[in-house]
Amino acid sequence: MDDILTQVNRLGVCSDPSPLRLSLINDDLIPNYVSENTRVIINDVFENSVPDNIKSFEVAGPRENIYFDPSKTRAAIVTCGGLCPGINNVVKSIVTELSRGYGVRSIIGFRYGYAGIVPDYGHDVIELTDQVVKDWDIKGGSMLGSSRGPQETSKMMDALERMNINILFTIGGDGTLRGALALYKEAQKRNYRISIIGVPKTIDNDIDFITKTFGFETAVAKAEEAIQSALVESEGAPRGVGLVKLMGRHSGYIAAHASLANGNVDAVLIPESPFIMEGENGFLSYIEKKLASQGRAVIVVAEGAGQDLLSEVNSTDASGNKKLSDIGIWLGDQLLAHFNKKATKINLKYIDPSYIIRATKASPTDAIFCRRLGENAVHAAMAGKTGMVVGLWNETFTHVALETAVSSRKVVDTDEALWRSVLQMTTQPPTFV
């Protein structure tokens, strides 16, 4: 952790008083500004003694003085990558905080991701006002539209400069944040004073140093509904097997949390825990025993699990991610073939709710979270912060440098409590080997 960047850059001195009219005094019934010196410790659990050089993040929130003059500020918002519950909530929050809180009157939305910034594609921009976004938070998807894949950084920065954009909010996952980091570095190279603020969006919840990303709780709730359907199907036929494939290219957080929420899952397969199919300790033998003991089985598999067992796909998607083989279809075929050979046929029901989950609107809890993320993104931008994302750490909203956010990927630690709870609930062995 010694090489983790914990300081966020600032465009310059904040000389203008904030228009928010908050307080610096405790217990006066008025919410307070956040001091620049307020920090949250990154690791608050120490096995031995507390180290002297404790790493910490800036705490997010409104500052007493701001960098940008709201009357002269032009802000823009872009949403990138796959759909995720809560995108529209974040956009609405940013627009309303900019306009109502700070009095910014020039806000635009780029259509269809980073491609919308590049003039070559011919996508029109949208002028965003309170009236335009008033009901966006009750809709799923992205009202701005989205796209995958990188764009030429210099072309995007040229366009931003021509449009006199002072603040760019980028809402997206790992690829989007890497694009934001490239823009931040290009702005530094040009000495262009633009605030680049990321709002992390990944339904897989796999961005490091961020406890939770928006849409994750909604995804878990909808995924649990799919698991419940699989359970009902498995109980509705002799030797019923309900198989559910969920999102999770590299991290099994949705699979683990949704399975725990349901409480009736017999096996959870995630990318972090390799498995084998055949043999006494293999996955198929375990399912045999489950069917023998209880007459049904419910299986949850993350999309990135078991890729070493499948034929490799030698291609990538528009974002440069390696395309995955379909573990859900493959696993179902393997189960059917195995039990057909044994003359003990199963009734298999396969459910893949991925696009239903991605397109749904945010749950109440996620909607609140999105609102606060958007507000804190605006507070950071108006204070001249740049090259950062708004995160949540130790139940506190924080400023995380883009370089830190994209430095590694968060995965389920199979030594820790979450995976232990999954194993205790399913009674599956720690590994199928």
Active site residues: 204
DSSP 214: T
> What does 115-131 look like in DSSP terms, one character per residue?
GGGSGGG-PPPEE--TT
Say how far apart CA 134 and CA 100 lie, in whole Å: 13
- Residue type (1 letter), 426: T
Say how far apart CA 124 and CA 107 lie, in whole Å: 14
Say how far apart CA 217 and CA 208 lie, in whole Å: 17
Instruction: Kindly state the tokens that stand for 351.
Output: 């459910």
Distance in angstroms between the alpha carbons of the first and the last residue of the chain: 32
* Beta pairing, strands 106-109 & 74-79: parallel
Handedness of CA 263, 264, 266, 272 (dihedral sign): negative
> What does 5-55 look like in DSSP terms, one character per residue?
--PPEESS---EEPTT--BSSTTSSSPBP--TT-EEES----SSSPPSS--
Among residues 249, 267, 241, 274, the alpha carbon closest in space to that of 325 is found at 249
